Amino acid sequence: MFPKYLQKLKRGPQVVLPKDAGLIIAYAGIGKESVVLDAGAGSGWLAVQIGRVAKKVVSYEKREDFASLSQENVKRNSLENVQVKLRDVIGEGFDEKDADVVILDFADSHLAIKNAIAALNEKGIIVGYLPHAEQMNLFVQQLEANGFADTYCIEGIVREMLVRKAGVRPANMGLMHTAYLVFAREGEKQLDKRERKKQKRRERH
C-alpha cells in the first residue's frame, strides 16, 4: 500500500520504493537542513520522497524522456524545493560543491564517485543504490580507492502480514530484493587531503 502522495506519480523506469527511500533517508541522516543530490532520477520517485523531508533536492538525469517524467512527478506533488537537471554526471559532474548527500542510482555509478566527492561538503555521505551484488562490490572497491574507509552495506526486505481471525501469518508473496544500499563517509586521511588542497588554493589567492 503506497501513501497517497506516491499514488499520484506516474511510473516509467524502475522506481525507488518507500522501503528503500526510508532507509536512505534514515541512514544518510537526511533532514530539514539537508541538501541532497540524486543522480539517476528515473521516474523521480526518490526525489519526491526525499523532497518531502530535505531542504533541497537536485535530481540529475541523462535521458531527456526520464527527466521530463521526473519533473512531471515533482509538479504533481507541488515540491518547489526539488529541481531536475538534464545531465550525465559521469562526464559532466555536478554543479553543486557543498552537498550533504549524493545518491548514485544508475548503471556504472562507480564511475561517478570522483565527481560525487567534488560535490560533497567535508562531512558528506555518498549513497549507492545497486541492484546486483557485483555492482555493490565494484562500488565499494571504488569508494575505498578514493579514501572512503567507513562503508555500510544493507538490503531491505518487506513482508506483508495477513491478520485474520483464523490466524496471523506472512502473505504468500512479499516485496523482497530491489537493491543493495551502500552508505559511505570519507576517512580522516581523505578529509586531511581535501583540507590541504583548500589551504593551497587560499595561499595562491
Higher pLDDT, 102 or 171: 102
* Rounded-to-integer distance, Cα 87 and Cα 85, Å: 6
Residue 79: name the closest of 112, 100, 53, 103 by CA.
53
Higher pLDDT, 88 or 174: 88
Query: Taking a C-beta distance cutoff of 8 angstroms, is the pair 24, 49 a contact?
Result: no
Average pLDDT over residues 11-36: 94
Q: Total structural domains in the chain?
A: 1
Average pLDDT over residues 44-71: 97
Which residues span the domain enclosing 65? 4-204
pTM over 0.85: yes
Burial class (CB in 10 A: 0-12, 13-18, 19+), 118: middle
Query: pLDDT, tens digit, for every residue of 144-170?
Result: 999 898 899 999 999 889 999 999 999
Query: pLDDT, tens digit, for every residue of 76-122?
Result: 999 999 999 999 999 999 999 999 999 999 999 999 999 999 999 99
* Rounded-to-integer distance, Cα 14 and Cα 1, Å: 17
* Rounded-to-integer distance, Cα 179 and Cα 185, Å: 20
* Rounded-to-integer distance, Cα 167 and Cα 104, Å: 42
Task: CATH number of the domain at 159, please.
Answer: 3.40.50.150
Chain position carrying cell 535530481: 59
Q: Name residue 56's amino acid.
A: K
Strand partners for 82: 57
